[in-house]
Amino acid sequence: MNIKKELEGLHLENQLNSKEIPDLDLYMDQVIQLFESKFSSAKRYEEDKVLTKTMINNYAKAKLFFPIKNKKYSKEHLLLISMIYQMKSVLSIKDIGKTFEGVNQRMQNDDFDLESFYNNYVHLMNRNVAHFKEHITEQEEIFETELDKDIVNDDYLQQLLLITSLTGMSNFYRRAAEKLVDQLEQEGVEEQ
């Protein structure tokens, strides 16, 4: 099995750049259309939805982003929604809310350049994609040189090992993110 070839279809490098977001406010249907056009290639199943009205309404109710005006979403809202979209499969809505609480407060105080922050986020995500591809190459080398040939020559067992390895790494990263969220929350309590 060629691991890199199998994972090519993930479209990991598919990030919404701030330049792709119009500088004018959008209605919810336009927001959904923008996200669907940008991220549809990353859907697991054809019938999956990238973003729905219900999702956006739930994000608003959970105060994951600062309030909208006149039923329109600003560029800054879309930047936040893009980050939420990436985080939602790993962190709970509650944890995402804790994470963005400070950003939303800064946005409401009008003293934060969210676009600059977001551009740094996209740069970091692009670097993470490169690191992930390097990690996959390392996994292939381990399979070829360090593991029992009777196991890795069985396609099913090799794939099972890779699945368990990737889910293990995912768990490590999720737990680290949760720890950082807890630290943010604790620092917020101490500031009060």
Sequential DSSP letters for 81-143: HHHHHHHTTTS-HHHHHHHHHHHHHHHHTT---HHHHHHHHHHHHHHHHHHHHHHHHHHHHHH
63-91 confidence digits (pLDDT tens): 999 999 999 999 999 999 999 999 999 99
Is residue 11's pLDDT more than 80? no
Mean pLDDT, residues 144-155: 90
- From CA 81, how far away is CA 34, in angstroms rounded? 11
Render pLDDT for 163-186 as a digit per residue (tens, 0 to 9).
999 999 999 999 999 999 999 988
Label residue 123 by pLDDT band (50, 70, 90).
very high
